[in-house]
Amino acid sequence: MNREKRTAIYSTLRERMPAPTTELEFVNPFELLIAVILSAQATDISVNKATAKLYPVANTPAAILALGVDGLKPYIRTIGLFNSKAENIIKTCRILLEKHKGEVPRTRPELEALPGVGRKTANVVLNTAFGEPTIAVDTHIFRVSNRTGIAKGKTPLEVEKRLVRLTPDEFKKDAHHWLILHGRYVCKARKPLCGECPIVEWCEYTKKERP
């Protein structure tokens, strides 16, 4: 796929979603960080239901640390892997207080040093909380990037590097959100809605592969 097609795809997605953002609910970088940690192998809907109960009670590193692992678990019990996530969140809150004065760090190495935070989570926080032109590759973005041809790769990291390199600068800040929302609601895994797709004319998903 050439630059002109990528530009056309991103321009079309921007027209449809001029101000895209995450579907996770948050009011500050710390709330986003906790929500993204919880979202691993979980839906945004389930995370939002949990944090809607948690954040009115505790939405700072100190407040969540005061809950402790056992106090935190009841709020996130409906989320997959809640036991390990509770442990990681408490450890993360302690590190934030001890090393970062309770603030969420703004560099990838510092974020990835937090328990429960990998490259994808760090990219989401850097992009959504701090406006950095990072692109977090989840299953939706991995699928859309390969299926459309916008950035093919065999691993999420390979796709991420190609997206960062090939996405025109004017689109980099919002590319993550456009691609994930497109994958979630249009370019679905099992039955992509090609007949409703606004970027179908530039997509490399062959006709014989389409439903």
d(CA 147, CA 191): 13
Burial tier of 83 (Cβ tally within 10 Å: 0-12, 13-18, 19+): exposed
Judge if 54 and 145 occupy the same domain.
no
DSSP letter for each residue of 67-119? HHHHHHHHHHTTSTTHHHHHHHHHHHHHHHHHHSTTPPP-SHHHHHTSTT--H
The CB density around residue 20, as the number of other CB atoms within 10 Å, is: 19
Q: Which domain holds residue 168?
A: 3-20+137-202
Judge if 152 and 84 occupy the same domain.
no
How long, in residues, is the chain?
Answer: 211
Q: Angle, nearest 10°, between helix axes 61-76 and 82-99?
A: 180
Q: Are 196 and 154 in contact (CB under 8 A)?
A: no
Residue 14 included in any domain: yes
Chain Cα centroid distance, residue 83: 22
Nearest to 136 by CA among 147, 146, 148, 125: 125
Last residue of a domain, one of 72, 99, 128: 128
Judge if 13 and 52 occupy the same domain.
no
Q: Is the pLDDT of residue 210 over 70?
A: no
Contacts of residue 82, Cβ cutoff 8 Å, sequence gap at least 6: 73, 76
| Tens of pLDDT, residues 47-74 | 999 999 999 999 999 999 999 999 999 9
Q: Is the pLDDT of residue 211 over 70?
A: no
Tell me what pLDDT residue 209 has: 52
Q: Are 16 and 8 in contact (CB under 8 A)?
A: no
Tell me what pLDDT residue 1 has: 86
d(CA 46, CA 194): 28
| Tens of pLDDT, residues 93-126 | 999 999 999 999 999 999 999 999 999 999 999 9
Average pLDDT over every residue of 27-34: 97
Residue 210 included in any domain: no
Judge if 161 and 84 occupy the same domain.
no
| Catalytic residue selected from 5, 85, 99, 138 | 138
Q: Is 44 labeled as catalytic in the residue annotation?
A: no
Q: Are 11 and 178 in contact (CB under 8 A)?
A: no
d(CA 85, CA 155): 25
Better-predicted residue by pLDDT, 21 or 88: 88
| Tens of pLDDT, residues 129-183 | 999 999 999 999 999 999 999 999 999 999 999 999 999 999 999 999 999 999 9
Q: Is the pLDDT of residue 208 over 90?
A: no
Supply φ then ψ for residue 60, to 5 degrees.
Answer: -130, 160
Tell me what pLDDT residue 16 has: 93
Q: Which two tokens stand for residue 187?
A: 């370019």
| Catalytic residue selected from 120, 152, 161, 173 | 120
Q: How confident is the model at residue 41 (pLDDT cuts 50, 70, 90)?
A: confident
Tell me what pLDDT residue 33 has: 97
The CB density around residue 196, as the number of other CB atoms within 10 Å, is: 9
Q: Is 120 labeled as catalytic in the residue annotation?
A: yes
Q: How confident is the model at residue 207 (pLDDT cuts 50, 70, 90)?
A: low
Hey, what amino acid is at 141? I
Last residue of a domain, one of 94, 128, 162: 128
Last residue of a domain, one of 86, 103, 128: 128
